[in-house]
Structure 1
Amino acid sequence: MDEDIIKKNNDLIEDSLEFCADIYEYYEADDINRFKNNYYKKNKQIQRDEAEKVIIVKEQADEEAGFKLYAKIVAVILAAMILARLVNAYLIQETIVNGSSMNPTFESSDKLLIDKLFYKMGALERYDIIVFHYHDSSIYIKRVIGLPGEKITIRKGRVYVNGRILDDDPLINDVMHYSGIAKNGVKLGKDEYFVLGDNRNNSYDSRYEQVGVIKQGSIIGKAWIRIFPISKFGAVN
């Protein structure tokens, strides 16, 4: 009798312990899962926050890089414009031939580059082609024939320098029909030049009183390079 009771009690105790073990295992597993879920949720939120920070930083960096690039482009354009103005004002200028007074050397619409600086490092020479102001509103292009201090005379269609015929004139065979102010000779001052167009009988030049001799201060520059038409590209002679 006593043994049966003891056995039943032992069975009950074992069942109770097993039940408690199951309960403990269940809650322990639940806590772990809850911890894991909380950890993963928290970790994901941290990752999202970090990703948003990275995106914001990248956007700010892109904006700064874009602004710097824009600023550089503007600076380059402004520098190029200023440089172009300086070059045009003091070094080189483009000009377009208008008319036939310099035929056959130049045709109308030929484009030339004018040296405005370097030619000043030496004296202009006879037969140089220069560009100069005419009455402040027009620009003429002609060939230098008479130099400072010389006396230029045109007789029988030929050019004489200080009483001697200019026999190396490349256009000596083009007999001029009009002598103008050079008929009786023109004495040039220390800063004056006598110019003629290469189309001698169709050129408005120093022979005409309205043009006259060219002062040094009126000269813009010396014809340097023909840039158009391309087929005739090259140095000007």
Structure 2
Amino acid sequence: MSGAAGTETGLQSSWPGEPAGKPPEKRSKLAIFRELPVLIVIAFVLALLMKTFLVQAFYIPSESMEPTLHGCTGCNGDRVLVNKLAWRLRAPARGEIKRIIGLPGETVQVTDKGVYITPVHGKRFKLFEPYIARPSNNGTLVPCGRSRSCPEGKTQAPIKVPPDSYFVMGDNRENSADSRFRNPPWIKRSDLVGKAFVKIWPIGRIGIVHLPAYAAKGAAAPGASQPAPVLPIGAVALGLGAIIRRQPS
């Protein structure tokens, strides 16, 4: 009896700063409430750091990248994650999204037969673009390819892309406000956000952002997409903050 009583008394012994006899369950709940404001602050700081330097979510606001990326005014467009660290490690490559067509120093000409590129040191060639699409007879977008020609529209004069700049075009060529209609037509590298690497929403379209075979890995997202809410990143950061707080000192 005395041993049992001693054991029970030991379970109810007080912790430093806690009233004697308080059950461990209540102490645990109080500790959680005390730590919650700190966890929220940590999560907020981590989310800001991640959004600024590492990863940011964007949504696609228009149809300019159909059928690769879905978007339209007022609809539930695709959400993508963009790796913002990529541009610190390498330059954007041809074929990355928003589709990079011309690289710095190259000459680009859009014709009614297709897009032609003249490299800085090389011969002029026609760009093969299996990712672009045109409306079919029933109105749906059908991808182009070697067996189905997709005219680019009116032939334009050749454009020389200046240093640290890029000539970009949307996959939905008939509904894309891209470098063909800009003045100046190119986009500076400083305006590129990062490479879009995965679609995260809607659930039915979750997957990797694929690129043509000639393109380097990754995808450029030059601000045509709009920033999505930071809530998913904040949730991840909150979890990280909780882990950090629960580590033993």
Whether TM-score is above 0.5 comes out as: yes
Distance 1:70 1:56, change over 3 A: closer
Q: Distance in 2 between matches of 1:72 and 1:122?
A: 41
Structure 2 counterpart of 1:159: 115
Which of these residues, 72, 75, 80, is aligned with residue 38 of structure 2?
75
Q: CA deviation at 1:202?
A: 1.2
Q: Show the 5 A alignment for 1:138-157.
A: 142-157=98-113
Q: CA deviation at 1:63?
A: 8.7
Q: Distance in 1 between matches of 2:52 and 2:29?
A: 34
Kindly indicate whether the alpha-carbon contact (under 8 Å) linking 1:150 and 1:161 is maintained by their aligned counterparts in 2.
yes
Q: CA deviation at 1:70?
A: 2.6
1:128 aligns with 2:96: yes
1:99 aligns with 2:62: yes
Aligned length: 170
Instruction: Indicate the percent of aligned positions where both proteins have the same amino acid.
Output: 32
Kindly indicate whether the alpha-carbon contact (under 8 Å) linking 1:178 and 1:201 is maintained by their aligned counterparts in 2.
no
Q: CA deviation at 1:228?
A: 1.3
Distance 1:103 1:63, change over 3 A: closer
Q: CA deviation at 1:87?
A: 0.8
Q: Distance in 2 between matches of 1:176 and 1:102?
A: 15
Which of these residues, 193, 208, 211, is aligned with residue 220 of structure 1?
193
What SS class does the counterpart of residue 113 from structure 1 fall into? strand
Q: CA deviation at 1:205?
A: 0.3
Q: Show the 5 A alignment for 1:1-237.
A: 57-58=20-21, 68-108=31-71, 109-129=77-97, 142-162=98-118, 164-170=124-130, 171=132, 173-179=149-155, 183-210=156-183, 212-237=185-210
Distance 1:186 1:74, change over 3 A: same
Unaligned runs of 5+ in 2: 1-13, 72-76, 133-144, 211-249
Distance 1:228 1:63, change over 3 A: closer
Q: CA deviation at 1:211?
A: 6.3
Q: CA deviation at 1:164?
A: 2.1
Q: Which has the higher helix share?
A: 1
Kindly indicate whether the alpha-carbon contact (under 8 Å) linking 1:143 and 1:196 is maintained by their aligned counterparts in 2.
yes
Q: CA deviation at 1:236?
A: 0.6
Unaligned runs of 5+ in 1: 1-53, 130-141
Which amino acid is the alignment partner of residue 124 of structure 2?
R
Q: Distance in 1 between matches of 2:29 and 2:45?
A: 24
Q: Which moved more, 1:192-201 or 1:210-219?
A: 210-219
Which amino acid is the alignment partner of residue 91 of structure 2?
A
Which amino acid is the alignment partner of residue 165 of structure 1?
F
Kindly indicate whether the alpha-carbon contact (under 8 Å) linking 1:147 and 1:192 is maintained by their aligned counterparts in 2.
yes
Q: Distance in 1 between matches of 2:189 and 2:126?
A: 23
Q: CA deviation at 1:231?
A: 2.0
Q: Which structure's CA Rg is the greater one? A: 1
Kindly indicate whether the alpha-carbon contact (under 8 Å) linking 2:114 and 2:127 is maintained by their aligned counterparts in 1.
no
